[in-house]
Structure formats: structure tokens, C-alpha cells
């Protein structure tokens, strides 16, 4: 089966010579293999006439066309976004327990949740199909069909935590308390709010709370619904490590006997939270295929390996490995970059930073709860904020990627990158691969994850001795996070620059950091930045305060969260080994 997909965000028919039509062998022989829609101006490829030669793919100056051969076994699409649009193949079978959805961005995970939650009627590949009849006919006499019949007839009790919680203030006017009480159908709202640390902001308008507080309010509002089927789209976004584990524990405890689907990109949280996983694989922006149900540990390991055993499908040309970091003596003789201590105060909050030193070529991971001053710390180092006392006194130039990304630019990614003061040779050889697919997209059309990739790549290529990255894993999928981790390490080593990384994803920090800088204090009141220390010492210090222990997976070496109170959890706490570096 052959599919032709055109990315409308890349396609620019007014700026090209219509190469897809001009060079198509079918068109040259008189067939209407490629035509242009007179209303939209976009090309249309007839998949029945297309021979799969791939000439249009190579000739398109914007890389907007994909011609893909799929095995007939995948069947007809469950949903397709218009002619030559993205299509999704397969649906999971709802079952009791917590099921994770894992896969790359752009392969249809959110579309999958929309179908299962009834907010999107699947069209089975037919653009004008907008009712449930044919869908129920296709899936009749199956477990999926029985579930979809409940959804179609509005007899399924559903609760959905959306991906974009920042949209909540645009549609809901009121306080956090009002939001929770509006959806509390089980009487658990107040207790759950207390468990997730929302007590102090209950009377704050939702338009004024932080992203983390808004995320937790959305989780509480979803969990307190009187439902049988629950859907959580990226629940760990904006949460710190402790909040992520607490959220996962609450969902397991309160909803473990329900039908729960979770899309999650934090590998440690996904592993800890779920009983089973479905892997969604394919080409981002073109198609996605839903794998069969797999136990969480083996499913995650298959995803990292890049090979799905039951399906006999290779989804990636390489395996993702967790490498042992160099021994401490590998840094002997390396040039040190000292910095001074300083303080910074805001109304109701005070940050104190100890003096320390950085090593050229290393990556320092920065860990601490939300509201403890991590972003303020890197902003002072970057010169974005002035300290009240003391000066960092860094002797190196600094490149800074902020936590919240805003690019005011009307042109394409290619044009914006061309205007940046960066090391062109290093960017082209090391960093261009992670943004090449975005080059012909307009900056204003980029998603959050796409902006993250572009900004991180440019920050790593700037001519600087110190690179400060604030939450570079935000909005990225699992695979992108681990690729970015490798690029950060490569940039530090090859350019002999120091990189400091603020991030809440423990697996990401484990992949990228050589040393750890831990923040302690009282969130929202006072924070203290320690000095960089060894990976194991720093992680143990941080996790001891969180009361969370990690072990290593025997197959992949990835960090895995121990269940609270388990034998391993008790043993590691007793010996003070909250974390194993491998």
C-alpha cells in the first residue's frame, strides 16, 4: 500500500516552480498524478496513479512531500486529516489498569486520545465521514467496537486531562478552588488538592497561577470526576521531580482499578505509572501505527531498542543506550572556571548561591523543586537579572536558552538561523540534523517542541564558553530528549565549553550530566544553590530530600523509580544509596 503525504506547513506553492508536477513521470505521460487545487493552491497527489518513484520527494525544494510504502497488513486508516494528510492506523483495546501511550511527536498519540475520548469521530480515511455508523460497523464484534459504541451513544463515563493546560484560563474564569469544585463529582477534590500541594493557591485566579499549579489543578479536576475511563495527556509537564512521582502514585492508588490511558514523555514516570504500554510508531507528520499491548518494562525496552518483537518491525535504525560516564579522574588537568556567590531577592523570596567552579567540557545538571530559584540562578549567570549582592564574575561569554521560548520573527527557520551569530561549521556538522526538517517552516507555525529544538540547537552553536539551558526537554518526546542530551554532551566536549542544564526529567539528566548542582530550601520563600558535585553524591543528596530511590534496568541501564516501600526502596534508603550511576 502506497501513501502520499503533503505537509501543508512546509509546502509553499507560491514560492516554487511546482516541481512535484513538472518532474512527475505520470504527468509527463498525460496522467493527472499531480494536480493543483484551484481553491487552496496546494498540490494533490493521486495515490492510485502514483508509481512511488520518489522524484517529487527529491525535487520538492521545501521537503514537504513523503511517499511511503506500507505493508497491506496495516489495513485502512482509522483517521486521516484530509487528502494527502496524516493518517493513523489502529486503535488500542481499553482494559482495566493504567496504559501508557509512547512514541515520537507527530505520530498521532493525541489524535488517538481524542478518538478514544469521543472528542474526534474517526473518518476511516474518508474526508467527509463525520458520524459513528461506519466506524461501529468496522469494529463490530470486537472489544474496541464495544467501547466505541459506548462512546458514540454517550454511555461511557469519561474524564480527560488535556495536553494544553495553558488554554484553561482562556475558557474558565475563576479561582483554582472554583475549577476543582466545578468538576469534583466524587468529593475527593479537596483531599487531592492537598496531596498535590495546591492548598496555598486555591483562592488564586487560574489566570495568575504558574504552569505547574495549573497542571496540578487540571489533574485534580480530572481525577475527581465520577468516571470509568480516564485520559491524561502529558500530565508531568511543568511539574518537578517530586510532584511527578506524587502525581503518578496518586493515579495508581486512586484509579488503578479503572480504565486509564496516559501519554507521557518522562521515561521514569511512564515506567513507574503504567502497567502496560502501546507504542505508536511511524513517520512524524505522515503516519502512525499503534502496536499491540505490551507490559510496561518490556515495551519501553523494545522502544529504546528500536525493534518491536511481536510485530517484527524495526522502528528506528539505532538503539538508544545509556552510556557509563567517564571516571572522575578524567577531568583532572581540565581548566576550571570559578564563579562567585551572590544573592537575589524578590518580594517574599530570597535566593542565595554559593561560590563554585565549572570544568571546561563538562555538563552540570541543575536539580531542585519548582519555585526554589533555579531559573533566577541561571538568569543571573546569563546577565539577564542583576544580583542584590555579589557578582558571578564569570570570565567566559555566555549563551542562554530561556525556560519560556518566544521568537518574534516572521520568516522561516532557515532565515532566522542564518541571522544568528553562531559557529556555522559546528552547527552544520553536529546540530543541523535535529532541525533540518523544520528549515522551511515559518517560525510562527512551529509547535512548542519544534521551537525547543531550534532554540536549543542555536544556543549550543553560539560562540560562548558557557551554555545555560533552562528546561531543554520541555515539549520533546522521549526520543528527541535523548538525542538532545547527546548533542549537549557533544557540544560541551568538542567545543570545550561548559553547559549547565536545568531539567526535571531524571532520565534526561542521567543521560546528559557529568556533575549535579542541587538546590535546597523552601519553595516560594527561600532557595540555596549549592556547588557542583559528583553525579552520585549530587543525585543522592537530591533524592534523599525527595525520599525517592532509583535502580538500574538490567537490559538497558536506564534509571527506574522504585515503588515506595518496596524491598529495593527500603534497602537503598537504609544504605543511603538513593541512586546508582551504573
pLDDT 10s digits, 202-242: 999 999 888 899 999 999 999 999 999 999 999 999 999 99
Q: How far apart are CA 493 and CA 487, in angstroms?
A: 10
Return the residue matching grid coordinates 535566593: 351
Higher pLDDT, 171 or 330: 171
Which residue, 459, 514, 502, is CA-closest to 368? Answer: 502
Q: Work out the average pLDDT over 104-130.
A: 92
- What H or E segment, with its residue span, contains residue 157? none
Which residue, 40, 51, 46, is CA-closest to 11? Answer: 40
Q: How far apart are CA 171 and CA 65, in angstroms?
A: 37
Which residue, 548, 543, 478, is CA-closest to 236? Answer: 478
Can you tell me whether residue 64 is helix, strand or coil?
coil
Paired residues of 363 in beta bridges: 499
Give the Cα-Cα-Cα angle 499, 503, 507 (nearest 5 degrees).
100
Give the Cα-Cα-Cα angle 456, 459, 465 (nearest 5 degrees).
135
Contact at 8 Å (CB) between 279 and 302?
Answer: yes
Q: What pLDDT was estimated at residue 327? A: 61
Q: How far apart are CA 388 and CA 532, in angstroms?
A: 22
Q: What pLDDT was estimated at residue 569? A: 93
Q: Is 333 exposed, middle or buried (0-12, 13-18, 19+ CB in 10 A)?
A: exposed
Q: How far apart are CA 300 and CA 486, in angstroms?
A: 19
Contact at 8 Å (CB) between 544 and 576?
Answer: yes
Q: What residue ranges define each of the domains in the chain, with the CATH number in brackets? A: 2-69 (3.30.70.20), 79-314 (3.40.50.300), 334-533 (3.40.50.300), 547-582 (no CATH)
The dihedral region occupied by 443, where left means phi > 0, alpha psi between -120 and 50, and beta the remainder, is alpha
pLDDT 10s digits, 496-545: 999 999 999 999 999 999 999 999 999 989 999 999 999 889 999 899 98
| Full-model pTM | 0.90
pLDDT 10s digits, 33-61: 999 999 999 999 999 999 999 999 999 99
Q: What distance lies between CA 454 and its chain's CA centroid?
A: 15
Q: How far apart are CA 226 and CA 420, in angstroms?
A: 52
Please say if the pLDDT value at position 408 is more than 90: no
Return the residue matching grid coordinates 552510556: 323
Which residue, 85, 20, 8, 4, is CA-closest to 58? Answer: 20
Q: Work out the average pLDDT over 425-435.
A: 94
Please say if the pLDDT value at position 553 is more than 80: yes
Amino acid at each position: 500500500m502506497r501513501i502520499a503525504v503533503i505537509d501543508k506547513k512546509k509546502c509553499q506553492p507560491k514560492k516554487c516552480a511546482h516541481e512535484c508536477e513538472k518532474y512527475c513521470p505520470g504527468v509527463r505521460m498525460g496522467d493527472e498524478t499531480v494536480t493543483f487545487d484551484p481553491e487552496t493552491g496546494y498540490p494533490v497527489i493521486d495515490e492510485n496513479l502514483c508509481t512511488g518513484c520518489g522524484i517529487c520527494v527529491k525535487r520538492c525544494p521545501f521537503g514537504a512531500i513523503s511517499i511511503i510504502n506500507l505493508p497491506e497488513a496495516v489495513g485502512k486508516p482509522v483517521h486521516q486529516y484530509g487528502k494527502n494528510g496524516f493518517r493513523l492506523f489502529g486503535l488500542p483495546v481499553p482494559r482495566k489498569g493504567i496504559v501508557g501511550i509512547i512514541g515520537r511527536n507527530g505520530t498521532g498519540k493525541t489524535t488517538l486520545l481524542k478518538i478514544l475520548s469521543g472528542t474526534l469521530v474517526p473518518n476511516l480515511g474518508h474526508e467527509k465521514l463525520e458520524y459513528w455508523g461506519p466506524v461501529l460497523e468496522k469494529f463490530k464484534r470486537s472489544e474496541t467496537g464495544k467501547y466505541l459504541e459506548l462512546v458514540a451513544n454517550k454511555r461511557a463515563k469519561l474524564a480527560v486531562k488535556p495536553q494544553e493546560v495553558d488554554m484553561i484560563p482562556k475558557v474558565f474564569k475563576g479561582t483554582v478552588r472554583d475549577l476543582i469544585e466545578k468538576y469534583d463529582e466524587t468529593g475527593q477534590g479537596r483531599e487531592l488538592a492537598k496531596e498535590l500541594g495546591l492548598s496555598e493557591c486555591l483562592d488564586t485566579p487560574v489566570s495568575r497561577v504558574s504552569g505547574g499549579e495549573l497542571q496540578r489543578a487540571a489533574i485534580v479536576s480530572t481525577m475527581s470526576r465520577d468516571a470509568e475511563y480516564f485520559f491524561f495527556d502529558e500530565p508531568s509537564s511543568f511539574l518537578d521531580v517530586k510532584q511527578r512521582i506524587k502525581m503518578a502514585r496518586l493515579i495508581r492508588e486512586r484509579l488503578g482499578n479503572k480504565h486509564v490511558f496516559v501519554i507521557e514523555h518522562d521515561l521514569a514516570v511512564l515506567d513507574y505509572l503504567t502497567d502496560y504500554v502501546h507504542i505508536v510508531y511511524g513517520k512524524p507528520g505522515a503516519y502512525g501505527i499503534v502496536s499491540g499491548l505490551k507490559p510496561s518494562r518490556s515495551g519501553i525496552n523494545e522502544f529504546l531498542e528500536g525493534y518491536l518483537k511481536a510485530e517484527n518491525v524495526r522502528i528506528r535504525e539505532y538503539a538508544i543506550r545509556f552510556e557509563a560516564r567517564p571516571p572522575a579522574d578524567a577531568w583532572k588537568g581540565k581548566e576550571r572556571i570559578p564563579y562567585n556567590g551572590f544573592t537575589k531577592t524578590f518580594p517574599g523570596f530570597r535566593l542565595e548561591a554559593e561560590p563554585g567552579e565549572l570544568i571546561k567540557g563538562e555538563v552540570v545538571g541543575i536539580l531542585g523543586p519548582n519555585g526554589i530559584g533555579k531559573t533566577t540562578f541561571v538568569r543571573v549567570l546569563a546577565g539577564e537579572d542583576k544580583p542584590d549582592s555579589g557578582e558571578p564574575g564569570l570570565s567566559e561569554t555566555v549563551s542562554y536558552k530561556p525556560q519560556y521560548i518566544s521568537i518574534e520573527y516572521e520568516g522561516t527557520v532557515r532565515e532566522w538561523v542564518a541571522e544568528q551569530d553562531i559557529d556555522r561549521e559546528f552547527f552544520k556538522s553536529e546540530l543541523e540534523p535535529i532541525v533540518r526538517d523544520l528549515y522551511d517552516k515559518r517560525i510562527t507555525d512551529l509547535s512548542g517542541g519544534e521551537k525547543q529544538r531550534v532554540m536549543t540547537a542555536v544556543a549550543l552553536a553560539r560562540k560562548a564558553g558557557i551554555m545555560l539551558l533552562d528546561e531543554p526537554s520541555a515539549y520533546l518526546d522521549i526520543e528527541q530528549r535523548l538525542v538532545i542530551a547527546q548533542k549537549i554532551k557533544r557540544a560541551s566536549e568538542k567545543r570545550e565549553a561548559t553547559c549547565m542544564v536545568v531539567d526535571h526529567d531524571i532520565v534526561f539528566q542521567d543521560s546528559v550530566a557529568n556533575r549535579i548542582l542541587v538546590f535546597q530550601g523552601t519553595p516560594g520563600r527561600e532557595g540555596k544553590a549549592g556547588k557542583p558535585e559528583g553525579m552520585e553524591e549530587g543525585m543522592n543528596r537530591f533524592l534523599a530530600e525527595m525520599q525517592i530511590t532509583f535502580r538500574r534496568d538490567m537490559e538497558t541501564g536506564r534509571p527506574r523509580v522504585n515503588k515506595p516501600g518496596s524491598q529495593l526502596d527500603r534497602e537503598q534508603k537504609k544504605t543511603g544509596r538513593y541512586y546508582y550511576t551504573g
